Chain A
Amino acid sequence: MFKILQKALATGIATVAYPDVPAVVSPHFRGRPEFDFASWRDARPAAEVCPTGAILVGQALSPANRRVTVDYGLCVFCGQCADVSPDGAVRVTTEFELATHNRARLIRAADYSLNADGTHQRLIAEYEAEATAEEAGGKVSEAIRNTLGRSLAIRQVDAGSCNGCEMEIVALNNPIHDIERFGIQFVASPRHADMLLVTGPVTRNMELALQKTYAATPDPKVIVAVGACGISGGIFGTNYASRGGVDATIPVDVYIPGCPPRPEALLYGILLAVGRLAEKVR
């Protein structure tokens, strides 16, 4: 017993203060790739190397033009798009606070007119979904905020993940990230839960189990889809064994991009889902 205490005292407090202070992130960390659509001369090499099809080149309204779509809900943050875009139009940032209520907010698009060699001649238009009123105010419904905003019980459901997301969710409970400092805890049954934290892709074999877990969770409840696979099916997409993202099976309130999302990104998404970000961050 004495040894245990001695070691605890010698160790001191290990917990970080995120989100009150910015997260400590290595400069090498690959977060959100940023696209300067106006200066991007050719999206094809990036689309070619993108492992999940998060960057797509297709036809715009007129066949002479090209539409480039970027979906952070599919992105696995490998950074290859930046490696093959030497014009500097694609830059990997260390940004990870990407969680959103609105799936469409994870998608950007741009239309280009083309040169004869297929490179971009001119940016015609850039598209980005408008922030909903909810997000603009960083708020969720009063019912959720009042009921779940102070003490939150989370049931984690692995609906088919590779276990990468699970490791980061487990890390939320370590002394560094210590999610219990927010009054948030992971519980053993959906019947005790206010939130389902679901990783994907949802496999055919887990579809029914996920539906039953959803039904067993009392209202009001919040559903959070975790990681590229939870949001969109990720690299697995939809196939004979995979139904794709979580929202193809149950309704989703918040999407947390990442492969896997780092613990701070998960925490950001969880606080966003219960309307507690405003008080903590902004």
Chain B
Amino acid sequence: MGRTPSSARDPLVALLLGKLNMDLFEELRDKFPLLVSAAQAPPQVSHNQVSIALRGPDVRPLAEHLQSAYQSRLVAVFAEDRVAAESVFYNYYVFEQPAEPCYLILQAPIAADQPRFPSLAAGLPAVNWQEREIQDWFGLEATGHPNPRRVALHDNWPDVHPLRKSFPLRQVLPPFEGERHVYRPTLGEGVFQIPVGPVHAGIIEPGHFNFAVAGEPILYLQLRMFYTHKGTEKLFEDMPIHRAVFLAESISGDSAFSHGTAFCQAIENASDTEVPQRARVMRTILLELERVCNHIGDIGAISTDVGFMVANAHASRLREMVVRLNEGLTGSRWLRGMVCVGGVRRTWSSAQRDLLRDTVNQVEREFDSLVALVQSSDSTRDRLEQTGILLPETAKVLGIVGVAGRASGVDLDVRRDHPYAAYERYPFQVPVYRAGDVLHRMLVRVDEVKQSFAILRAAADDLPEGPHCAPLQPVPPGRCALSAVEGWRGEILHWVRTADNNRLERCKIKDPSVNNWAAIVEAVQGNIVADFPVINKSFNLSYSGTDR
């Protein structure tokens, strides 16, 4: 095959990449002959991924080796039901090596009659929830998991595994009753529990927080998510790809364009569709507008949660300027209905380009004044500094990504590490801090918005002429492809296996929120209950993106 990564258009880089991965494959094959088949065809290199098929479900030795010898990061773990076609389930382990644009995917078969796999969670807490999701969705047991209880399906769910092919999407389950989840008890004099949710006091999404507190300080926090689980991954298997783009936009409404783009890129990778340069630049612009809009909103919301309402009034006014620009560019205030497989649905007139330039300049001026206003308030700084600290060591172990990771020393950014759209054309800095408190999660946003303005201006000036969408062509069946996007919140992954008639066999979605909930649990410990809202807001995770 030897197809080159689309991101690496320089042929020399492409050649080098292929060689690096071949070397890695040969090394793994020699070191772990029982795991990696010697007779196996060379690894499948396509676009941004290299896949290696394993002989069995135990990836522990490989994972350890990749971590110790290559400082690999386990990006995602997910499963697929291939029982009808191949009599096996597959677990997929997506790794990333520093300074290597290609993702490495290990495909581990699990025999249908032995539905279990060795858990990695004890040594790699980052996969805790993901492995338990596999248990819930597919009925594959993660043996040796330190906390194997249900995570996605609440305790009252009947014994079903919704992502198995044998489970019908439209099956009607009985209404909820009984216990959702048994929380760890809180015992001791003066120690008590505060249950919060799923219906919260503000205009936010549903989830349950169970605080154990000793007076004011929080001892620990237990979470229950998946209240908004709506069968999204299963739904992807039930609709043609052109409709599924809209489903991708509804994974997390505040990241509609990022998730939509991640999905379209996966389909483009699977079908070898070359996206025209104009569309790549337009996508880049819209991705950055989504980032600017949400970061500004968060800076305002963080100010609100410490009582600085004036800053939020200005921030939400700026945010409204950006969503109005969004509407002028895409017809939707939240950038919906714009991205499509092959590019974008509509092109821009020169008037729209001028609108983009003018608004960006105007918002930038106002943004500097907003930041000055927030920074001028000592009492605000006092509330944000040293609040909700996530230590860099903890962030690394928990696999924290995105804004939250970068505030705690995790130097990752898909835009730089695995370039897509037109990010290679525009130089930008990735801000990284190590303090890990609310203040620095806000500062990462401030710095990123400034970088985004530079990208937006460069892209608006650079916008090439030409088609805004590749010609529509059928998507070949049986192709697997991965795609990654740095949404404003962090790393978004979509993985697809295509089926006949422009449909999908499987679509795995990973929102950065899935990993990052664990960060909130760590960050709140020892803080007072009254600071929970601002700590939570400084992460601003997507419940819908988590629950799907």
Contacts and interface: CB of A to CB of B under 8 A. Distances in A.
Contact of B250 (A162, A175, A206, A238): A162
Contact of B242 (A11, A49, A174): A49
A251 B242 CA distance: 34
A239 B231 contact: yes
B235 A239 contact: yes
Nearest to A168: B333
Interface stretch (A59-67, A76-84, A103-111): A76-84
Interface in B346-388: 352, 369, 373, 376
B25 interface: no
A206 B198 contact: yes
Interface string B230-244: 111011000000110
Contact of A240 (B172, B369, B543): B172
B251 to A, nearest CB: 7
Interface in B239-260: 242-243, 245-247, 250-254, 256
B170 interface: yes
Given A203-B227, A209-B199, A239-B230, A234 B310 contact: no
Contacts of A168: 333
Interface stretch (A116-124, A138-146, A153-161, A272-280): A153-161
A205 B316 CA distance: 32
A3 B175 contact: no
Contacts of A213: 199
Given A28-B328, A76-B246, A213-B199, A236 B232 contact: yes
Contacts of A242: 230-231
Contacts of B154: 205
A11 B254 CA distance: 27
B372 to A, nearest CB: 8
B230 A209 contact: no
A223 interface: no
Contacts of B247: 51, 235
Given A175-B316, A235-B247, A238-B170, A164 B253 contact: yes
A170 interface: yes
B334 A206 contact: no
B230 A78 contact: no
Given A28-B327, A51-B243, A163-B253, A236 B334 contact: no
Interface stretch (B317-325, B422-430, B432-440, B475-483): B317-325
A171 B253 contact: no
Chain A contact surface mostly: loop
Given A174-B319, A240-B173, A162 B253 contact: yes
A208 interface: yes
Nearest to A202: B230
Interface string A68-89: 0000000011111001000000
Interface string A197-210: 00001011111110
A171 B334 CA distance: 12
Nearest to A171: B320
A7 B320 contact: no
A32 B253 CA distance: 20
Given A174-B320, A240-B234, A259 B336 contact: yes
A204 B175 contact: yes
Contacts of B175: 204, 207-208
Contacts of B172: 238, 240
A84 to B, nearest CB: 11
Contacts of A55: none
Contacts of A8: 310
Contact of A158 (B204, B316, B317): B204
A189 interface: yes
Given A235-B247, A238-B170, A4 B316 contact: no
B471 interface: no
B162 A161 contact: no
A133 interface: no
B330 A28 contact: yes
A8 B310 CA distance: 9
B337 interface: yes
Nearest to A188: B201
B167 interface: yes
Nearest to B256: A164
Contacts of A203: 227-230
B388 to A, nearest CB: 22
A89 B313 CA distance: 43
A242 B227 CA distance: 11
A8, A156, A164, A259: most-surrounded residue (chain B CB, <10 A): A164
B544 A162 contact: yes
A234 B250 contact: yes
Contacts of B330: 28
A95 B232 CA distance: 30
A175 B317 contact: yes
Interface in B52-106: none
Contacts of B336: 76, 78, 164, 259
B231, B250, B334, B345: most-surrounded residue (chain A CB, <10 A): B250
A240 B167 contact: yes
Contacts of A113: none
A176 interface: yes
B332 interface: yes
Contacts of B15: none
Contacts of A170: 203, 316
Contacts of A79: 331, 337
A14 interface: yes
A78 B317 contact: no
B314 interface: yes
Contacts of B167: 240
B205 interface: yes
A40 interface: no
List the 10 closest A-B pairs by CB distance, nearest first: A164-B253, A188-B201, A174-B316, A51-B246, A78-B337, A241-B231, A162-B253, A30-B331, A162-B250, A239-B231
Given A80-B337, A161-B228, A240-B172, 4 more contacts: A161-B253, A173-B203, A174-B320, A208-B177
21 contacts: A26-B328, A28-B330, A51-B243, A51-B247, A76-B336, A78-B337, A156-B203, A161-B228, A162-B253, A162-B544, A163-B205, A176-B316, A205-B154, A206-B198, A206-B228, A209-B198, A209-B199, A240-B231, A241-B162, A260-B253, A260-B334
